[in-house]
A = this chain, B = another copy of it.
Amino acid sequence: MALKTPEEFIQSIADLDLEIYLFGEKVDDYVDHPVIRPSLNCIAMTYELARQPEYEDLMLATSHLTGTKVNRFTHVHQSTEDLVKKVKMQRLLGQKTGSCFQRCVGMDAINALWSVTHDTDQAKGTDYHERFKKYVLFLQENDLVADGAMTDPKGDRGKSPSQQADPDMYLHVVEKRDDGIVVRGAKAHQTGSCNSHEIMVMPTIAMRPGDEDYAVSFSTPSNAKGISYIYGRQSCDTRKLEGNELDVGNSRFGGHEALMVFDDVFVPWDRVYMCGEIEFSGSLVERFGGYHRQSYGGCKVGVGDVLIGAASLAAEYNGAARASHVKDKIIEMTHLNETLFACGVACSAEGHQTAAGNYEIDMLLANVCKQNVTRFPYEIARLAEDLAGGLMVTMPSAQDLAGEKTGPLVEKYLVGVGDTPVIDRMRVLRLIENLTLGTAAVGYRTESMHGAGSPQAQRIMIARQSNLDHKKELARELARVGKPWEKAKVKVPTVVSAG
């Protein structure tokens, strides 16, 4: 095994010759396309930091399959310490990219499939776990990016997969052959899919009898015949076409989601990990969801660190940094951000070993973590916009700064405190815009809301995991419910004089 260099990673993605559509047209040179490249740079960072000694402890892990060091993104968690390091690695990468760096989905899918294939085999006598173990070995040995694909388009949400007018609204098996299966459908909102070597497909809901064809999980090369990608449109995406790092805010890094279409894709049996076992689809969804809800207690915190830093700089640049309300707002942002981190750490530290041997987060706390993630980044963003000031959205463009007539005016009137260069003040404001309204807001806001399951999904899990009966028993015990009541001992409150 050899860890890839960032350059090797990018070349390997280029070599896949994926079928990616952007703005309605097929993109051939996608690794060099200005809209797409920042997203690749994010994943390249997961390779780059893995090569730096100072980050080795977080970025690498010792494979329990081979005993060699692997990138943690391909690791099967062997301890709660591994779970905590995962969260810290994610915070680090959020700090370094200010973006969604996309490689977590696969890591979380690996760990969910690890235990679900084991449980399925135990119950059904299948051999999915052995197949999956080989696949993980393959990922580790080649240091690959494997996407986890779960969310189907869903059509009418009031109907089950098999009840949909169009049977392809949920990805399903259309043919079982001796050598494998053929699948059709799509996966929506696929974070990082166009930067991945491999795709691990999972069902998106607990399936019921009649939906067996939809209870399917497998992996496939991302460039398998029949797979195409429609690149999602993001706020301010075309600023990256303007040759203009300034207005992009964060010019080198970004994330993406795509609609991934499976048009009768063939999958050989040794890459199939579920095929009809409807009773295990729910577990797979829950466990993947659980790991991914943990993830957000790391990655979004790292991005939050960047936003807090940028808001502080913005306040400094206009001379307001010492105002007590400014300092208090930065404290509040920090407090909220660290609360998210605490949740990420706690659900990790409270993890437990599964029957399959790997470690799983505490499910209740992981859902609590994500539920907070659906709220606090919005408030952190609101406070950042408060500190940034209105200039963030009324500021002239980079073209104005470069313009013959307008350039000097922008230089003159956007001056801040001391000798801060106007270009730097603009850069920091554009970074805040990027995170709160621009391309990165997709990751910092909407993904915080809907990634790893929408808020209501966590509330359902919290209710399920909360052991309310135990709490009621505690209350009954203290209130002495059901105990006899000694009416005769009741005295009437009156007061006698002290004198």
Distance between A473 CB and nearest chain B CB, rounded to angstroms = 7
B328-A459 in contact (CB<8A): yes
Q: Is A182 an interface residue (CB 8 A)?
A: no
* Complex-state Cα separation, A369 to B335, whole angstroms: 9
Using A312-B468, A394-B257 as known contacts, say yes or no to A449 and B409 having CB atoms under 8 A apart: no
Q: Does A391 contact B (CB under 8 A)?
A: yes
Docked complex Cα distance between A139 and B231 (Å): 51
B243 touches A319 (CB 8 A): no
Most buried by B among A22, A342, A421, A430: A342
Q: Does A157 sit at the interface, judged by CB under 8 A?
A: yes
Q: Which residue of B is nearest A374, CB measured?
A: B386
Instruction: Name the contact of A244 in the complex, choosing from B249, B253, B350, B491 (C-beta under 8 A).
Output: B491
In the assembled complex, the Cα of A396 lies from the Cα of B232 at a distance in Å of 5
Within 8 A of B (CB), among A224-277: 228, 230-236, 238-239, 241-247, 249-253, 257-259, 261
Interface SS majority for chain A: helix
* Measured CA separation A95–B455 after assembly (Å): 28
Contact at A413–B346, with CB atoms within 8 Å?
A: no
Question: A124 an interface residue at 8 Å Cβ cutoff?
Answer: no
A232 proximity list for chain B (CB < 8 A): 393-396
Q: A391 CA to B230 CA in the complex, in Å?
A: 13
Report A404-435 CB contacts with B as 1/0, cut-off 8 Å: 11110110111111100101100110110100
Our pick among B244, B309, B476 for the contact of A472 (Cβ within 8 Å) is B309
B335 with A345: CB separation less than 8 A = no
A417 with B158, Cβ < 8 A, contacts A189-B390, A365-B342 known? yes
Tell me the bound Cα distance from A487 to B446 in angstroms: 28
Are the C-beta atoms of A410 and B243 separated by less than 8 Å? no
**Are A243 and B490 in contact, CB atoms less than 8 angstroms apart?**
yes
In chain A, positions 441-499 with a C-beta closer than 8 Å to chain B are 441-442, 445-447, 449-451, 454-456, 459, 462-463, 466, 468, 470-476, 478-482, 485-499
Q: Is A89 an interface residue (CB 8 A)?
A: no
How distant is the Cα of A413 from the Cα of B167 in the complex, in angstroms?
A: 11
A299 within 8 A of B: no
Closest B residue, CB atoms, query A34? B495
Residues of B within 8 A of A374 (CB): 386
Which chain B residue has the least Cβ–Cβ distance from A442?
B393
- Is A368 engaged at the interface, CB distance under 8 Å to the other chain? yes
In the bound assembly, the distance between CA atoms of A470 and B423 in angstroms comes to 21
Q: Determine if A392 and B446 form an interchain contact, defined as CB atoms under 8 angstroms apart.
A: yes
| CB nearest to A153 among chain B residues | B413
Smallest CB separation, A161 vs chain B (Å): 14
Q: Does A355 contact B (CB under 8 A)?
A: no
Complex alpha-carbon distance, A395 and B98, angstroms: 22
A330-B497 Cα distance, complex, nearest whole Å: 40
Contact with B along A349-387 (1 / 0, CB 8 A): 110000000000000110011011011001100100110
Give A256's nearest chain B residue, CB to CB.
B394
CB of A174 closer than 8 Å to a CB of B:
no
Flag if A25 contacts B399 (CB, 8 Å). yes
Chain B CB within 10 A, most for which of A232, A338, A349: A338
Tell me the minimal C-beta distance from A469 to chain B in angstroms: 9
Judge if A402 is at the interface, Cβ distance under 8 Å: yes
Query: Closest residue of chain B to A258, judged by CB?
Result: B394
Residues of B within 8 A of A403 (CB): 21, 24-25
CB distance from A91 to the nearest CB of B (A): 11
CB-defined contacts of A151 to chain B, threshold 8 Å: 390
CB of A341 within 8 Å of the partner chain = yes
Partner of A441, one of B168, B305, B437: B437
Pair A495/B450 contact, Cβ less than 8 Å:
no
Residue of B nearest to A371 (CB): B335
CB under 8 Å from chain B, chain A span 106-162: 151, 153-159
In the complex, which of the residues B153, B156, B241, B324 contacts A417, with contact meaning CB atoms closer than 8 Å?
B156
Instruction: Tell me which residues across on chain B come within 8 A of A97, comparing CB atoms.
Output: 478
Minimum Cβ distance to chain B for residue A463 (Å): 5
Give the shortest distance, in Å, between A229 (CB) and chain B (any CB): 10
- Asked if B423 and A485 sit within 8 Å, CB to CB, the answer is yes
Since A330-B463, A386-B454 are in contact, a sample of 19 more A-B pairs with Cβ atoms closer than 8 Å, ordered by chain A residue number, is: A153-B413, A153-B415, A159-B319, A165-B415, A168-B413, A230-B406, A230-B409, A238-B238, A245-B485, A309-B473, A309-B474, A324-B325, A331-B459, A374-B386, A375-B382, A385-B445, A437-B437, A437-B442, A496-B496
8 A-B pairs within 8 Å (CB atoms) are namely A228-B409, A246-B485, A251-B480, A308-B471, A342-B365, A378-B382, A390-B447, A431-B475
